[in-house]
Structure 1
Amino acid sequence: MKQFKRLAAVAALGALMGTTAMAEGLSTPNLAYRTGPFAATGIPIMNGQADYMAMLNARDGGIGGIAIDFSECETGYNTEKGVECYEKTKGSAIVTQPWSTGITLQVLPKTNVDEIPILAPGYGFSPMADGAVFQWAFNTPLSYWDGASIILKYLSEMGDLNGKKVAFLHLDHPFGKEPLPYLEMKAEAMGFELLPIPVGLKEMQNQSAQWLQIRRERPDYVVLWGWGAMNAGAITEAAKTKYPMENILGVWWAGHDADLKLVGEDGKGYKSVSWSFPNPDAPVMADVKKYVIDAGKSQTNPEEMEGVFYSRGLVISAILAEGIVVAQEHAGKPDISASDLRWGLENLNLTEERLEELGLTGMVPPFSTSCSNHTGHSGGWILEWDGAKFVKASDLIMPDSEAISELEMAKAKEYAEANAPWPVNEDCQM
């Protein structure tokens, strides 16, 4: 049977080298946020991440015969606490998972010194895709600029954007501002008016001023770049003001089932882009249930497991686990270093066949990375709320890689010059 054969091969490698599961294991700390204003969206993702690693530990004895230490350090999505967590966990870590874009930006220069890879799936600083400049940072499988590109492509399929008005309702935070360089560039090129509308952290649950502006400006579309309580606030306000839900399209962090369940049928037609999708029939779901859920080792519940964010957590840990597998094979040992993992993360090749072997069929698009491409630019689906759940509303849409690549290189160069001396991998060719 093909499924899991590669993990079995790595486990055999560990056995041949006389390596058994270690007490400490491979340290892969997660800078979690189960508390604070973003907890409602953080919890299902953290549960999915933890459950996948717990499944590997229980089913396979870890990866390559070495247990995975997937401990969490709580940040509450606070940048200062996130940096403290990074400093606290970096000593034995082979990776850091900062979560907040603000934390990622603070940690980014430190990883050049500490030589620990950042794994920021679908978030962080978009120019991190340029692996020659950002040698230790990975934002697989899609960047925020990829997401903005896919949203504009989908809206363009609905009609020419020339002369249209697009409101950009975004969190007034590094995460919310991240897609602005790309959106501003495309607004000029495509002839639409971009209307940025920021939402402060203290305004997330009361957006009356922002939606008053939307009612006054009457944009053709609203792009929702929200997170946590902001999304629930925006969706309930849109329903209250009867803004057409079919004209709202969110980033993947604005596609949380629980937020839409607040409005139910009134949210029908709302859409978000996504690079993950729940597949209850996927073999990985059966294994998580058998080895983790039924064994009482999870903090999740049946309703949460059906949602987009829990399955995204599983996918995120699967990406990390695959990086570890590739690194172990290349290093010829299971007890890898942070440098080994960097090599693994920039040599991912998650083909359809490999995803099937991992039991992840239909849960994430295929993608690959390289020393110059630390994102993968996998493409994404448009998900639509049908009144009760999210369903796929499009085939896979690929981002405008040519325009994005030019912007990535320009902004990466700008960042490196502003933070000189900045080490660059001269041996890495685009």
Structure 2
Amino acid sequence: MKTFTRIAVAATLGAVMGTTAMAEGLYAPNLAYRTGPFAATGIPLMNGQADYMNMLNARDGGIGGVMIDFDECETGYSTEKGVECYEKTKGKAIVTQPWSTGITLQVLPKSNIDEIPILAPGYGFSPMADGKVFQWAFNTPLSYWDGASIILKYLQDQGDLSGKKIAFLHLDHPFGKEPLPYLEQKAEAQGFELVPIPVGLKEMQNQSAQWLQIRRERPDYVIMWGWGAMNAGAITEAVKTKFPMENMLGVWWSGHDADLKIVGEDGKGYKSVSWSFPNPDAPVMADVKQHVVDAGNSQSNEEEMQGVFYSRGLVISAILAEGIAVAQEHTGKAEISPADLRWGLENLNFTEERLEELGMTGMVPPFSTSCSNHTGHSGGWILEWDGAKFVKASDLIMPDSEAISELEMAKAQEYAEANAPWPVNEDCEM
């Protein structure tokens, strides 16, 4: 059966199941953060996610004839509030979307008991890629270790890193510390000096001390693992201290258009790795405009919809929607369970052909998942700020899968042993 028929086949299931199934819907809550110090980056992501699901509901009657109940529970990016939202929504949810590495780490042990898939696209705990150990967690299509690998590969293409100094400016939070095991391993192997420079939550908007240290250290490169208000603070300080912007690279959460627009031309040359890219001419954008924006059901605006983060929100909801559709086709049920969705998320296959069918060509690299591979390791692009917008500055760069896989397995085993007894899926082939 061809992939493009998946939604059409699933759509017939809703009719077979009858109106009761259609009325109940599929509850897919989002632990959103439209408030707090990270709101500026959270809002466009949440808008993109919601608009995609609203588009499916309006255009297709949901997925497989079943409407998607895409509820939001506001966390403010607080781990405590996030756990409260998880407990509040888990009763009827088929998925949880924590939207914070801190929340993800708190929810992770609960997943084995509650048996609800955690969908954390491009964030969370990198060893979650090991589906044998983390049966209910998915961080498709790239992990933080993948991102660090792609950045280092790009820098190596600019010249040998041996003897170089790299400052690692990061949020002093589980998110910011995530890539350290991989970066430390590579620093030793490749002979560069890694200088971690943490930014506290209360220092995000005033990083004078951190940038004074950067001026003293005189690093060849600055890798930024920033989020929310930290991004704008760091970019502003870099411009003020005249750090060469072409030598500053961020993770995908540090590549927000609005942050760079604050400095405009002065930010030219700044780079960010990314696993998504906006395509204003993509058919999916036209469908969102027709079925959501023109109907007055979007919280976004024209400028935001052209940006990287709104586009990424669309991609994230497309990943979830595809997992639902795959599960429906596999089970023959329109009303799927969390366990069914887990199977769907383990059997994603975003080929170029499938992306074209979804109207998302060029918006995310192809990737696939499996029982043992819950990430997909899609590869990413280096985006560069040209003074007005982000443009692609590289072809697709694939992560160092062999080294990352070894680290994933070691850290996953370490986590399982530290949290014993930890159930492992012995039926999952590596």
Structure 1 SS opposite 2:198? strand
Structure-2 separation of matches of 1:332 and 1:18? 14
Match of 1:159 in 2: 159
Q: Residues 251 and 274 of structure 2 are in contact (CA less than 8 Å); yes or no, is this contact kept in structure 1?
A: yes
Structure-2 separation of matches of 1:308 and 1:341? 27
TM-fit CA distance, 1:13? 2.8
Q: Quick check: 1:141 aligned with 2:141?
A: yes
Structure-1 separation of matches of 2:323 and 2:17? 20
TM-fit CA distance, 1:22? 2.5
TM-fit CA distance, 1:7? 1.3
Match of 1:201 in 2: 201
Match of 2:361 in 1: 361
Match of 1:18 in 2: 18
Q: Quick check: 1:426 aligned with 2:426?
A: yes
With normalisation by structure 2, the TM-score equals: 0.99
1:165-184 correspondence runs (5 A): 165-184=165-184
- Give percent identity, aligned residues only: 88
Q: Quick check: 1:281 aligned with 2:281?
A: yes
Structure 2 SS opposite 1:313? helix
Q: Quick check: 1:90 aligned with 2:90?
A: yes
1:270-419 correspondence runs (5 A): 270-419=270-419
Q: Residues 141 and 375 of structure 2 are in contact (CA less than 8 Å); yes or no, is this contact kept in structure 1?
A: yes
Structure 2 SS opposite 1:22? helix
Match of 2:188 in 1: 188
* Residues 277-307 of structure 1: CA deviation (Å, up to 9, x unaligned): 0000100000000000000001000000000
* Runs of 5+ unmatched residues, structure 2: none
Structure-1 separation of matches of 2:176 and 2:343? 30
CA, structure 1 residues 279+69, in 2 after alignment: closer, same or farther (shift >3 Å)?
same
Structure-2 separation of matches of 1:6 and 1:315? 18
* Residues 213-248 of structure 1: CA deviation (Å, up to 9, x unaligned): 000100000000000000000000000110000000
Q: Quick check: 1:47 aligned with 2:61?
A: no
Structure-2 separation of matches of 1:206 and 1:257? 20
Match of 1:130 in 2: 130
Match of 1:110 in 2: 110
CA root-mean-square deviation: 1.0
Q: Residues 5 and 357 of structure 1 are in contact (CA less than 8 Å); yes or no, is this contact kept in structure 2?
A: no
Q: Residues 28 and 93 of structure 2 are in contact (CA less than 8 Å); yes or no, is this contact kept in structure 1?
A: yes
Which AA in structure 2 matches 1:169?
Answer: L
Structure-2 separation of matches of 1:304 and 1:96? 26
Which AA in structure 1 matches 2:246?
Answer: E
* Residues 294-333 of structure 1: CA deviation (Å, up to 9, x unaligned): 0000100000000000000000000000000000011111
* Residues 16-72 of structure 1: CA deviation (Å, up to 9, x unaligned): 443576333100000000000000000000000000000000000000000000000
Structure-1 separation of matches of 2:18 and 2:57? 18
1:73-84 correspondence runs (5 A): 73-84=73-84
TM-fit CA distance, 1:10? 1.1
TM-fit CA distance, 1:144? 0.1
Q: Residues 246 and 271 of structure 1 are in contact (CA less than 8 Å); yes or no, is this contact kept in structure 2?
A: yes
Match of 1:59 in 2: 59
Q: Quick check: 1:267 aligned with 2:267?
A: yes
Which AA in structure 2 matches 1:84?
Answer: E
Structure-1 separation of matches of 2:24 and 2:241? 54
Structure-1 separation of matches of 2:186 and 2:344? 34
* Residues 319-372 of structure 1: CA deviation (Å, up to 9, x unaligned): 000000000011111100000000000000010000100001000000000000
Which AA in structure 2 matches 1:38?
Answer: F
CA, structure 1 residues 21+362, in 2 after alignment: closer, same or farther (shift >3 Å)?
farther
* Residues 69-102 of structure 1: CA deviation (Å, up to 9, x unaligned): 0000000000000000000000000000001000
Structure-2 separation of matches of 1:390 and 1:188? 32
Q: Residues 4 and 354 of structure 2 are in contact (CA less than 8 Å); yes or no, is this contact kept in structure 1?
A: no
Structure 2 SS opposite 1:223? strand
Structure-2 separation of matches of 1:20 and 1:155? 56
Structure 2 SS opposite 1:273? strand
Which deviates more, 19-28 or 239-248? 19-28
1:218-297 correspondence runs (5 A): 218-297=218-297
Q: Residues 6 and 329 of structure 2 are in contact (CA less than 8 Å); yes or no, is this contact kept in structure 1?
A: no
Q: Residues 21 and 335 of structure 2 are in contact (CA less than 8 Å); yes or no, is this contact kept in structure 1?
A: no
Structure-2 separation of matches of 1:235 and 1:106? 31
Structure-2 separation of matches of 1:387 and 1:92? 46
TM-fit CA distance, 1:198? 0.1
TM-fit CA distance, 1:15? 2.1
Q: Residues 75 and 82 of structure 1 are in contact (CA less than 8 Å); yes or no, is this contact kept in structure 2?
A: yes
Q: Residues 277 and 311 of structure 1 are in contact (CA less than 8 Å); yes or no, is this contact kept in structure 2?
A: yes
CA, structure 1 residues 21+54, in 2 after alignment: closer, same or farther (shift >3 Å)?
farther
Structure-2 separation of matches of 1:312 and 1:234? 22
Structure-1 separation of matches of 2:52 and 2:23? 19
Structure-1 separation of matches of 2:297 and 2:5? 25
Structure 2 SS opposite 1:353? helix
With normalisation by structure 1, the TM-score equals: 0.99
Q: Residues 21 and 67 of structure 1 are in contact (CA less than 8 Å); yes or no, is this contact kept in structure 2?
A: no
Match of 1:69 in 2: 69
Structure-1 separation of matches of 2:327 and 2:21? 17
